[in-house]
Structure 1
Amino acid sequence: MISLKRVAALAAIAAGSLGLIAGPAQSQSNPVRIGSTLALTGPLSATALVHKLTGEIYVEDLNKRGGLLGRKVEWIVKDDQSKPEVARTLYEQLVTADKVDLLMGPYATGAILSAMGVAQRYNKVLIHHTMGIPSLAKYDMHFPAWSLGADPGATVPATVFDGLASLPKPPKTIAIVTSKFPSLHFLSLGAREVAKKRGLQEILFLEWEFGNRDFGPIAARVKDAKPDVVWIGDIGLEGNMLLEAMKKIDYEPPLHVHLYPAPGPLAASPEGKNALSLTIFEEHPPYTNDPVAAQFVKTFNERAKAAGLPYTSVETQAAASFSAWQILEAAVKATNSFDDRKMADWLKKSQVKTIQGTLRFDRGNNFGDDLMRMKQVQDGKWVTVWPKEWAAPGTTIRTQ
């Protein structure tokens, strides 16, 4: 399996490219400067590296197509170290010292909320890709590419439990174990309520502090509970660490659902076999019927392999990031402007076609439809398994 040291090494390489200039913008005398942070180091780095590579690919292609309104694009990326308070400081720097023209959001809910506060202070549009708690996003000029819908605490677990209910032998008992990381905790509490309404018996509920690395006690409690399904509110490598702790005590959960795992490490891990998670995109039909999506998949596969990323396929994280850039480009071109207010007004009344589907921003706190689907690790790769119309051809949910 992919070692934690390997992921850390990749993060260190990424951290060395702070102030990244993407594509041929270096030679442009008057580039459009887009500023953002990503968790290039710290516990969120394994996933943030995917967002970094996606942004590089998008900006390079955008510049080949003429940039934005005839100007090349320069993408400035700073390392927020997986810390929301650092993200807040860096976004202040981007606006005041670096004087960027536009903002792109960071990775993860806490950092996004920090960036949102800065954007609100300076009346800047903030497009972002991984905001997990819509009710906290009060700023009227933020726009999410993470298509959770306006009430994900109800709708996201409903999608998961619909899929599980389709099994020949649906689960009857559930253990819910979750990080206190805000978006994970929020969705896990929602899962408790939806599970109760669906008649699932909750036989265990446990929480851990974000940054925890000792999952032995949690693994032991889950083993003793003997649930039919384990709902795991994890992010980054937490799911891997929990499954490794379970293996040490000779326990393998019959069904395990993960929220925001690092896609590569979990898919590559032997313990990740048949793991279930959420998705908005996987690199198979019907998603890849979109020619833009198909080209992105091809390019990402090549670049991810060359960069030594542990998982070289496009999945939900890369697709959300790509969609955020599509939203930004659409708003600039539709308004023929870099004016934040004009862009915000247009987005509120419009829909944007992205590789994950058509996004809208006219519901609760500028969120739109819930486009979440369920995926599973099968034969070392993530594939969509529910709903059926989005499943990979010939694919069903595996339990063995």
Structure 2
Amino acid sequence: MLARLKWRGAVASFFAAAAVAMLLTPAKAQAPSGQPVTIGFSMALTGPLAANGKQALLGMKIWEEEINAKGGLLGRPVKLVYYDDQSNPSTVPGIYTKLIDVDKVDLVLGPYATAQAAPAMPVIMQKGKVFIILFGLDVNHEFNYPKFFAMIPTGPDTKPSFTDGFFEVAAAQNPKPQTVALVAADQEFSRNACDGARDNAKKTNIKVIYDKTYPPSTADFTPIVRAIQAANPDIVTICSYPLDSVGMVKAVNELNYRPKMIGGAMVGLQATVFKRQLGPLLNGWVNYETWVPAKALTFDGTEAFLKQYQARAGAEGVDPLGYYLGTWGYAYI
């Protein structure tokens, strides 16, 4: 069963803001007219990140429709201008250059995911644009760009946040685990999350005895799992992107590897498509989630949005739950 990290304050703040915005917008408004306010961004609609990117986009499209039905912005209609970045970071700079220089959008928003947001930063900084991104982990650490904002439920201590719950659960075990293996994809999100895992290992006094990265193009995870198994750690923390996460789960099960705990910061396992694909193979894994069905996290408008989202998800080929990014896409824009 997947363990769930409950970033209640962050989630509550964003849903509350979304709910308040809905309440403050007049129910009946004059139809917007004139030149639309254009909002541009790239989104992963194909490739490994598409399961999550499609969720976010549907949430954003619902916002676009609702805001136009209520009069638009400044009396003008809103129009989303977006391109598929194919889950490929190399496409991102060209997309944002086109959005700003050719499409001349009024506002730019970030793509989904750390690996996509980071390559957009030089273009955004050169153009001097305000930039709000969706679920990018510590993207601005090296750039230190003052017009940057991130929509992510991690709180101020960003890097350790994705594995904080994992190590908290590990430290509470009796007997307490003494050693940990860290493995991460060699790209922005996974490296940043693994930096945080090292901090959490130190904080909980669990010794790191294996600490390696693998190329993002890796397809066979059996050698990696065998190497970890040979190191014989008590627990294993994995920082991965969707296809890596699936590959790791399958390799661990095929080798019948059973450390005391395994999981951590594995992106993708929150999506229904991967949960269905892996099914019982996920039993025993401890991983982060960003939403739990708690009353404290439900506000006016939350349930109504999810009903609308879920009614459309099937027809648009989108994850029917939407808890991971559909809600965030709506609140983020």
- The alignment's TM-score, normalised by the length of structure 1, stands at 0.68
Contact 2:56–2:325 (CA<8 Å) still a contact in 1?
yes
Which of 279, 285, 290 aligns to 1:275? It is: 285
What secondary structure, in the 3-state scheme, does the structure 1 residue paired with 2:239 have? strand
Which of 297, 308, 318 is 2:326 aligned to? 318
Contact 1:39/1:82 (CA < 8 Å) preserved in 2?
Answer: yes
1:90 matched to 2:87? The reply is no
CA–CA separation in structure 1 for the residues paired with 2:258 and 2:311: 34
Aligned to 2:55: 50
Q: Which amino acid aligns with 2:59?
A: T
Within 2, Cα distance between the matches of 1:160 and 1:100? 41
Please state how far the C-alpha of 1:44 moved relative to its aligned partner. Answer: 2.4
Aligned to 1:194: 200
Pick one of 60, 73, 79 that aligns with 2:84: 79
Q: Which runs of 5+ in 2 are unaligned?
A: 1-31
Alpha-carbon distance between aligned partners in 2 of 1:187 and 1:301, rounded to the nearest angstrom:
31
When residues 169 and 76 of structure 1 are mapped into structure 2, their CA distance, relative to the original with a 3 A threshold, is: farther
Cα distance in structure 2, aligned partners of 1:156 and 1:40? 24
Which residue identity does 2:151 align to in structure 1?
A
Structure 2 equivalent of residue 385 of structure 1: none
- The 3-state SS of whatever aligns with 2:314 is helix
Relative contact order, CA 8 A, sep 6+: which one is greater? Answer: 2
Equivalent residue of 2:104, what SS? coil
Cα gap change, 1:167/1:295 in structure 2, threshold over 3 Å: closer, same or farther?
A: farther
Aligned twin of 2:3: none
Q: CA deviation at 1:286?
A: 2.3
Gaps of 5+ in 1: 1-26, 326-400
- Matched residue type, 1:173: T
Q: Shift of the alpha carbon at 1:115?
A: 2.4
2:112 is aligned with 1:107:
yes
Give 1:131's aligned residue: 136
Q: 1:137-157, CA deviations, whole angstroms, 9 ceiling, x for partnerless residues? A: 422112111133343234554
Match of 1:32 among 23, 34, 37: 37
Is 1:237 the counterpart of 2:243 in the alignment? yes
In 2, distance between residues paired with 1:163 and 1:59?
40
TM-score, with normalisation over the residues of structure 2?
Answer: 0.80
Q: Output the CA distance in 2 between the equivalents of 1:30 and 1:294.
A: 33
Is the 1:280–1:320 contact (alpha carbons within 8 Å) kept by the matching residues of 2? no
Cα distance in 1 between the residues matched to 2:267 and 2:162: 16
Cα distance in 2 for residues equivalent to 1:183 and 1:107: 12
Which residue number corresponds to residue 343 of structure 1?
none
Which digits, 9 at most, give the CA deviation of each residue in 1:32-80, with x for residues without a partner? Answer: 1111101222332232222222222222222222222222211111012
| Correspondences of 1:137-156 after superposition (within 5 Å) | 137-156=143-162
2:257 corresponds to = 251
CA contact (8 A) 2:58 2:329 kept: no
Partner Cα separation in structure 2 for residue 49 and residue 258 of structure 1: 24
Q: 1:165 to 1:46 in 2, by over 3 A?
A: same
Q: What does the per-residue CA deviation read over 1:1-34, in whole Å, with 9 as the maximum and x for residues that have no partner?
A: xxxxxxxxxxxxxxxxxxxxxxxxxx95421111
CA distance in 1, matches of 2:235, 2:60: 36
Question: Contact between 1:267 and 1:273, CA under 8 Å: does it hold in 2?
Answer: no
Tell me, yes or no, if the aligned pair for 2:163 and 2:193 is still in contact at 8 Å.
yes
Q: Residue type matched to 1:250 in 2?
A: N
Q: Which amino acid aligns with 2:210?
A: L
What is the CA-CA distance between 1:103 and the residue it aligns to? Answer: 1.0
CA RMSD of aligned residues (A): 2.4
Q: Quickly say closer, same or farther: Cα 1:199–1:258, change in 2 above 3 A.
A: closer
